[in-house]
Amino acid sequence: MSLPFYYFSYLNCLLVKGHRYTITIFLTIKVFLLKHSVKTNLKQSFKHSLKLGNRLQKIEKMVATQRYGHIWDCCCDHGLLGCALLNRQASNIVSDIHFVDIVPELMAELEIKLQRFYSSSSNEVIIKNWKTHCLDVAKLPLDQYDGKHLVIIAGVGGDLMIKFIEAINKQHHNLAIDFLLCPVHHQFSLRSKLIELDFSLKDEVLVEENQRFYEVLLVSSSSAAEGKGNNKISPVGNKIWQSDSIKVSLSQAEIVDKYLNKTLNHYQRMQKGLQQSNKQDNQQTKTNNANVDVQHIIDAYRAVTLASLVS
């Protein structure tokens, strides 16, 4: 073969080789970009799925993370609230966030999401300061963790919350625990139980979301007598009805007004129903109904109208 042919073949080989390198580099970059964009998309869709509604936003705002060593997002479901608290802390980690739910599938799914989202966090601490627990809220292992605890329970009924709080309080009576509570119903019985347990009030707000109303209570297991000022819990609420907040915002005044009417209507209907069935039923039912008389609750809410709104 002639020399020019060798030169040609050699150059060709280099070109092909170079081309191969170019292709390899190109493919590597593409795979990297693809991986990165999949990761970014996953993170974005995870972040997007973490958008909080009015109710959870309000609850989240009431958490002063710097006060607590451990924050327990109980009955966490998809962990929206706990994630919002984690994200808020990203620049200044202070509390450990514990995600608690009784459904194993939910917790397994959440664990995977949290691993995926936070394991690549640039912040070393955020990688470590969360933990998932698949367990009954009544059995929180608070004594295994040093520091002040905040137990958040939202999205379940006040009746179930009473069971959780009684169990936690009994098991950890030596600890001063803060509870942030947002029951979906049975607010009166929950408040009555908190009073019976001699808890004290730190804050309370009323929030509306999708035409439903929610009371949010920040309370402490320490006695009201130990604190300063008016930190007693009222069975119907106090600050949530105050005219101060009405002056601040007209829509809040409407929310307060609607909520009071709705609550009164609810108990008045219940009272009518009880009276009807009392008339119709036999003596046994009468005895049972006597235990669930709600006139005192109606009276308490009527007093709210007289004390705060009308004045």
Ligand X SMILES: C[S@@+](CC[C@H](N)C(=O)[O-])C[C@H]1O[C@@H](n2cnc3c(N)ncnc32)[C@H](O)[C@@H]1O
Nearer to ligand X, 99 or 241 (CB): 99
Footprint of ligand X (CB under 6 A): 75-77, 100-103, 106, 136-137, 154-156
CB of 155 to ligand X, least distance (A): 2
Nearer to ligand X, 98 or 297 (CB): 98
161 CB-near residues (< 8 Å, 6+ apart): 153, 181, 183, 190
Say if CB 167 and CB 139 are below 8 A apart. yes
Structure tokens at 244: 């101060």
Nearer to ligand X, 102 or 246 (CB): 102
Nearer to ligand X, 56 or 300 (CB): 56
- What do you get for the CA distance between the two ends of the chain, in Å? 110
SS3 242: coil
Structure tokens at 207: 């929030």
Nearer to ligand X, 187 or 200 (CB): 187
SS3 153: strand
Nearest of 202, 232, 207, 204 to residue 219 by alpha carbon: 202
SS3 178: strand
CB of 166 to ligand X, least distance (A): 13
41 CB-near residues (< 8 Å, 6+ apart): none
CB of 131 to ligand X, least distance (A): 15
CB of 160 to ligand X, least distance (A): 6
Buried b (16+ CB within 10 A) or exposed e, 175-208: eebbbbbbbeebbbbbbbbbbebebbbbebbbbb
Nearer to ligand X, 131 or 232 (CB): 131
Single-letter residue type at 311: S
Nearest of 269, 113, 80 to residue 182 by alpha carbon: 80
CB of 151 to ligand X, least distance (A): 12
Nearer to ligand X, 80 or 219 (CB): 80
Which residue, judged by CB position, is nearest to ligand X in the bound state? 155
User: Most distant CA pair in the chain: distance in Å?
Assistant: 119
Structure tokens at 276: 């009807």
CB of 236 to ligand X, least distance (A): 22
CB of 40 to ligand X, least distance (A): 27
